[in-house]
Amino acid sequence: MLSIILCLLLAYLIGSIPSGLIIGKTFYHTDIREHGSKNLGGTNTFRTLGVKAGIVVTSMDILKGTLATTLPLLLDTDIHLLLAGVFAVIGHMFPVFAGFRGGKAVATSAGVVLGTHPILFLILVLVFFISLYLSKYVSLSSMIAAVAGLIYALFFAYEDKPLLVVLAVFVVFIIYKHRANIKRIKNKTEPKITWL
């Protein structure tokens, strides 16, 4: 029991590492929570600090989820890899190291999928960029990719109950964290990308 608690706590702490805050303050002397959407995730990093910082932060956030899925194996703990991933995503959204003001769960959720179902990860990256090309909305594309993952699991991996449950949880997390974006999309005030 103690090893399970330790594993989940470590997963949460890994997820809590505020990549955007670290990169912004260390290399740009900027707290990205004071700019743009005031969010710690990759999208606000792109907008606030530029492409290089955005790529680094997004990659770090993805790897947090992937690393968390390896913890049950590293610690020889009898819990599902996806459960550790969920705790990392919770840490990313509500990081103890950043006043519980975190990101929107997208990149770290993707990292969990990468660590457990890499083919599905590649499919969802493709869905994301197709949606981004058509809509120019990062937020909308993130939600579409999340829903696409759940639809994929319902049709092609329905026997994998843990995957179904976790992807459904991720959809709820991601849509919940994008409430303000949804309102802005409806009002046509959501920023669009210009580079694709």
Tens digit of each residue's pLDDT (9 = 90 or more) over 91-139: 999 999 999 999 999 999 999 999 999 999 999 999 999 999 999 999 9
Amino acid found at 166: V
**In sequence order, what are the residues at sequence separation of 6 or more whose Cβ sits closer than 8 angstroms to the Cβ of residue 94?**
16, 100, 101, 102
Q: What is the rounded average pLDDT for all residues in the chain?
A: 95
Cα–Cα distance for residue pair 40/7, rounded to 1 Å: 25
Give the pTM: 0.95
> 29 — alpha (psi -120 to 50), left (phi > 0) or beta?
left
pLDDT digits 0-9 by tens, 127-142 = 999 999 999 999 999 9
